Structure 1
Amino acid sequence: MFAPARSFVRPALNVAVKAQQQQRCGMATLREIEMRLKSVKNIEKITKSMKVVASTKLARAERAMRTGRAYGTANQELFSQAGIEDSPDAKVLYVAITSDRGLCGGIHSSVSKAAKRALLAHPEARIIICGDKPKAQISRAMPEQIALSFNQIGKDIPSFAEAAAIADEIMTNGGEWDVLKIIYNKYISAISYEATTMTVVGAKALQEAAGFKAYEMEEDVSKDLTEFALANVLYQALVEGHAAEQSARRTAMENASNNANDMIGSLQLQYNRGRQAVITNELIDIITGASAL
C-alpha cells in the first residue's frame, strides 16, 4: 500500500532538491556578477575623474611648454652659430627625464628604451636620471652607469628654478663631460609624443669654438654660459615631458573608461540573462508543484 507512494514521492523530492541547488548556484553567480559590476562601475567613475583632472592639467602644461620652448630655441640658436666642432673622443653624459608617477601608458618606457640604446652605443658614458620610473627600469640593466638621480619630478608644472637646481647639481657632482645629451619626451600633439635628444656642449668646447675665439673670453664666462644653457635646455625638456605625460595620462584614462564601459555592458547583459534564468526556474517549480497537487 505504501510502496507505490514512496516510489512516487522520492523522485519528486530529488527533483525538488536539484532545483533548489541549481537556484542557489544561480543566485550565487548573480551575486558575484552584481559585485563585479559594482566594482567596475566604481573604477569607471575613478578613471573618468582622472581624465577630467588630466585634461585640466594638460591645458596648463601646454601654456608652460610654449614658454619653455622659447628658452630652448634661443639656446639652440647660440650653439648653432658658435661653430662647435664634433670630437670623436668627447666624454658624453646622458640625462634621462621623465617623472615619478604612473598611469600614463608607455611614456616612461620610451625614454628608458632610448637611454638604453644610447648607453649600449657608448658603453663608457654615464647617465643622470630624473624620475623614479626610468631609474627603476634602467637600474635593472645598467646600474653601474648611473651617476646621479633625482626624484619628486612632475608633481606640478616644472619651474626654471627647479631646472637651475638640477643644472647646478650636474655641474657640481655630475663628473667631467664634454657633451651632455638630454633624452626626453617631445610633445607633438595631444595624442602623440616621441623620445628626442637635445645636446649641450661643455665649457672647454665653447672656448675652442670658432665663434667664441673671435672674442676675448675668461674661463668663468664659458663655464657660467654652459650652466645657464644647461638650465635652459633642462627647463624645456621638463615642461615638454610634463605636457606629454599629462596628454598620455588623459589618453590612458579615456581608454580605461571606454574599456570599463564595454565591460559594464557585458556584465549587465550576463546579469540580466542569469536573473531571467533564475526567474524561469522558479516559475517552472511553481507550475510543476501546482500540477502535482
Structure 2
Amino acid sequence: MFRLGAKQIARAAAPQARNYATLREIEMRLKSIKNIEKITNTMKIVASTRLNKAQRAMQASRVFNESEAEFNKNADPAKTEELKEEGAEAATTPEDKTLLIVVSSDKGLCGSIHSQISKSARKRAQALNGNVDIVAIGDKVKAQLTRTHGDNVKLAFNGVGKEAPNFTEVALIVDEISKLGKYENVEILYNKFVSGVSFEPSTFSIFTSDAIANAPGINKYELENEEITKDLSEFSLANNLLTAMAEGYASEISARRNAMDNASKNAGDMINSYSILYNRTRQAVITNELVDIITGASSLD
C-alpha cells in the first residue's frame, strides 16, 4: 500500500511542478508589466511638464514668422516667382534642384510622428522626379530617408530635439546648409502643431535673394544693396527653420505624451488581466495540493 501511495504522489508531482512553474512565470510577467507601467507613466508626466515650455517656445517663434509674412506680403516676392515659373522652360536647367530640409529629432517613443514626416518627404521627392537634395535634421528622419533616398541626403544634423530650439542653434545649422551652394527652390518640411492630440506635415517655402530683390514692393523698404537681399534670404531661412523646429518640437512632446498615456492604459489593462489569471492559477494550485493530500491520505488507509 505504501508503494502504491508513493506512485500516486510521484504521478501528481509532475503537474504540480508545471503549475508552480506557470505561477512563477505569471508572477514575473506581472511584475515586469508593473515596472513598465511605472516607466511609461513617469514619461507621460515628464512630457506633460515639458509641453508647456514647448508651446511657449512655439508661440514665440510664430511671432517672428508672422512679422516675416507681413514683409513678404508687402514686398510680394511671390510675384517674382510666378513670373519666373512662366518662363521656366527656357530658364530651367537640369542642374536646378530643390533643397528639401526635413525637420525631425533624435528621440523616439512618440508614435508615428517621424514616419509620417519621412513619408511626406519621400512623396515630395517623388513629385520632384528625384531632382532634389535633402537635408535631414534629426537621426530618426535621417535613418528612414537614407534607406530609400540615400543618394539625395547631402547633409544631416543630430543632437536636436532634447530641448526647445533657439536661434543660435538654428543659425549654426543654416551656416552649414549655405555651404551646399545656391538653390533655386528651398523648402522646409516639418510637423505643424495643430492641437494637443494632432499634428500635420506642412511646408515653408523660402524666397531666394533674387526673388526678394526683384519683388514689386521691395522699393518700400529701400533695399538696393544685393548683399542686403542675400542676408534677408538667409535670415528668412533661419527664421522659418526656427519656427519649423519649434512646431516640430511641440508636436513631438505632445505625441510622446499621448503615446505614453496609451501605453500606461494598455499596461493597466494587462495588469488587471494577469492579476486575474494569477489568482485563478494560484487557486488551482492550492486546490490540486489539497486533492493530492486527501488522495494520499486515503491511499494510506
- The TM-score with structure 1 as length reference comes to 0.93
Residue 55 of structure 2 corresponds to residue 62 of structure 1: yes
Distance 1:170 1:285 in 2: 77
| Aligned counterparts, 1:104-115, within 5 A | 104-115=110-121
Residue 166 of structure 2 corresponds to residue 159 of structure 1: yes
Give the equivalent residue in structure 1 for 2:262: 255
Out of 189, 196, 202, the position equivalent to 2:195 is 189
Give the equivalent residue in structure 2 for 1:133: 140
Identity of aligned residues (%): 47
Distance 2:39 2:126 in 1: 40
Distance 1:138 1:175 in 2: 22
Query: Deviation digits for residues 89-131 of structure 1, max 9, x if unmatched?
Result: 4642110001000010110111111111111111211111100
Out of 200, 223, 229, the position equivalent to 2:236 is 229
Give the equivalent residue in structure 1 for 2:31: 38
Deviates more, 1:189-198 or 1:281-290: 281-290
User: What SS does the corresponding residue of 2:151 show, helix, strand or coil?
Assistant: helix
Query: Deviation digits for residues 158-202 of structure 1, max 9, x if unmatched?
Result: 11111121122222x122212211000000111100000011111
Distance 1:143 1:75 in 2: 34
User: How many residues were matched structurally?
Assistant: 285
- Could you tell me which runs of 5 or more consecutive residues in structure 1 were left unpaired when the two chains were aligned: none
Distance 1:184 1:20 in 2: 63
Distance 1:260 1:152 in 2: 31
Name segments (4+ residues, structure 1) moved above 4 Å.
213-216
Distance 1:174 1:53 in 2: 38
Out of 99, 109, 127, the position equivalent to 1:103 is 109
- Alpha-carbon RMSD across the aligned residues, in angstroms, is 1.6
Residue identity matched to 2:169: E
Equivalent residues of 1:178, 1:205 under 8 A apart = no
Post-superposition offset of 1:212: 2.1
Distance 2:108 2:70 in 1: 35
- Could you tell me which runs of 5 or more consecutive residues in structure 2 were left unpaired when the two chains were aligned: none
Query: Deviation digits for residues 206-260 of structure 1, max 9, x if unmatched?
Result: 1122222674511101001111111110111111100000000001111111111
- The TM-score with structure 2 as length reference comes to 0.90
Query: Deviation digits for residues 254-275 of structure 1, max 9, x if unmatched?
Result: 1111111111111111111111
Equivalent residues of 1:91, 1:176 under 8 A apart = no
